[in-house]
Amino acid sequence: MAMDYSEKVMEHFAHPHNVGVIEDADGVGEVGNAKCGDIMKMYLKIKDGIIEDVKFQTFGCASAIATSSMATDLIKGKPVEDALKLTNQAVVEALDGLPAVKVHCSVLAEQAIKAALADYYKRQGIENDISKCADCENGCCGHDHGAEEA
């Protein structure tokens, strides 16, 4: 089945921005699971509350790579508070849309950033309530949602 991808999705897939590893990252977050095939890892370098650098490694489909790339573009150079407010919908809109069956990739991108920020706060000794898992309806984030409700 062919997917209708926007030009922006195809551009970010073919030429992703901010790919790589930050060896001395201030925060690292990883989400996804091998069962659904998409795994995202985000690295943040933060100075004075500003995200100076962000890199990602993503194993997954074109949408997973494109959403990772766009999400990093949307938070680079921004205050941590702005990154915390980034939603998967903002990522989808910045890419001019995604096929409905691929929207979960944007959820993973949001969650990877929040996981990296949660790690940053933990390393700083700052308590936080950043949810690594917003509301992944299909379980692709790798968390056992049933266990969280119990």
Catalytically active residues, by annotation: 36, 105
Buried b (16+ CB within 10 A) or exposed e, 138-147: eebbbbeeee
Angle CA(2)–CA(96)–CA(142) in degrees, nearest 5? 70
DSSP state of 1: -
Cβ neighbours for 74, distance < 8 A, ≥ 6 positions apart: 86, 90, 91, 94
